Structure 1
């Protein structure tokens, strides 16, 4: 499989149907998918283009976010098929609708339950992140290596996405946030927050809801760059495991420090 070909597919879809509609969505091109969740014509058309392109690269089931919304049984391919594609055609749709540049296009390849390759394209700045299991992580052909973070909570900067947290967990975050240098709510786009962690803007990010197309690409990028992604019980991330709660961090010591402070 040609890694660069998948990057080309994402760029082609972005230029064909996403970027032309950025800050130019017409009436009727934004729909409510579920309470509090929106979808646009750009999401749907991009997923169609990417799906066709990926099948031309490797003929395997494609689990797209919008296709899975219509038929949740598609997610079963992650455990039933030896190899499957995951597609998030427009991560951060609400940001896109609001004219915010924090959105991304993401793809992951899952083989026997593990993510073996991933791609994150940020169309607003045409920045591409690519990772391959055992081969490293890259940003626009520059190899990435996440530096270890401080073990002092007062020097750590992170994000905790609280939207889906139960009230008790939100309360713990509010009480403990002051022990860190900074805790922000994140960008509402995993395709932006994972690269920020890898690039050193953040030292940790805590997620609650785990949809596979949101996290499989970024987790591989992070771990191939030297970071850590684990459930609160310390088990490693797997795309088909959608139990809530994932803590990602610059390194294992940082992960443990943050977990202890947040009482996860």
Structure 2
């Protein structure tokens, strides 16, 4: 666990942080409509992938490698063990000079996330989780307390960018019963730790790319929360194009009640 955390922090120090608020012209590219990538993303992924393979020689499914060759993601279904890597989660924030970005990795065995790492270079905070062994922030164990009984006290995030217009309106209307609902920090590596650390109660995601959600889902689950599809099935990291929609909450009761409220189901 400690070695992977070191790999992420070292890669960030070598090629990510030196470019924070210092990206040169030509170092930011559009890889798909509305999606950007930087030289920091690409260089960090190469470094992390090489060092992870030295640690455990299994396939590496990295966000930028999959952007170049989508077939690589099928290793999540066909291989007994796979590394997942997101070299810069929250690239838009990174490009804009905002500190809400992270470097993340997960180890997936037989389709289940068994370990995860989130390194937030600014402010220099490490989150780790191991299946059945707990969740940690800078070596301190995280154990999330349940939410209050009143949804009016709950703080949540709705990710509505990829939601159909009709569903967008319905979700927004139903969410008015909560105390606070925002669009989030635009980085899963920042948003999931806020659930595990007690700063908010739920997040509803629409699109669920595996490198974005495997690390945080395990972190929240090991801290006592829930990360599950809207039908109640536990989150598993699937290749892009698979099932979408994911509700994350700080405890099982809050997950059930949030789902009922957002979907307009009987209480």
Task: Give the TM interval when normalised to the shorter protein.
Answer: over 0.9
Following TM superposition, by how much is the alpha carbon of 1:76 offset from its aligned partner in structure 2, in angstroms?
0.8
Runs (5+) with no aligned partner, structure 2: none
Following TM superposition, by how much is the alpha carbon of 1:153 offset from its aligned partner in structure 2, in angstroms?
1.3
Output one character per residue of 1:77-113: Cα deviation in whole Å (capped at 9) or x when no partner. 1111100000000000000000010000000000011
C-alpha separation between the residues in 2 aligned to 1:170 and 1:124?
32
C-alpha separation between the residues in 2 aligned to 1:214 and 1:8?
20
Secondary structure (helix, strand or coil) at the match of 1:116 reads strand
Q: Does the aligned pair in 2 maintain the 1:151–1:253 contact within 8 Å?
A: no
C-alpha separation between the residues in 2 aligned to 1:260 and 1:118?
29
Output one character per residue of 1:153-201: Cα deviation in whole Å (capped at 9) or x when no partner. 1111100111111112210122122200000101110000000111111
The residue that corresponds to 1:214 in the other structure is 212
Secondary structure (helix, strand or coil) at the match of 2:256 reads helix
Runs (5+) with no aligned partner, structure 1: none
Asked if residue 80 in structure 1 is aligned to residue 73 in structure 2, the reply is no
Q: CA RMSD in A?
A: 0.9
The residue that corresponds to 2:262 in the other structure is 262
Asked if residue 19 in structure 1 is aligned to residue 17 in structure 2, the reply is yes
Q: How many aligned positions are there?
A: 262
Residues 171-182 of structure 1: pairs in structure 2 closer than 5 A: 171-182=169-180
Off by >3 Å, runs of 4+ in structure 1: none
Q: Tell me the TM-score normalized by structure 2.
A: 0.97
C-alpha separation between the residues in 1 aligned to 2:113 and 2:194?
20
Residues 73-112 of structure 1: pairs in structure 2 closer than 5 A: 73-112=71-110
Q: Tell me the TM-score normalized by structure 1.
A: 0.98
Q: Does the aligned pair in 2 maintain the 1:131–1:224 contact within 8 Å?
A: yes
Following TM superposition, by how much is the alpha carbon of 1:49 offset from its aligned partner in structure 2, in angstroms?
0.4
C-alpha separation between the residues in 2 aligned to 1:230 and 1:80?
22
Partner residue of 1:234 out of 232, 235, 240: 232
The residue that corresponds to 1:191 in the other structure is 189
C-alpha separation between the residues in 2 aligned to 1:150 and 1:255?
13
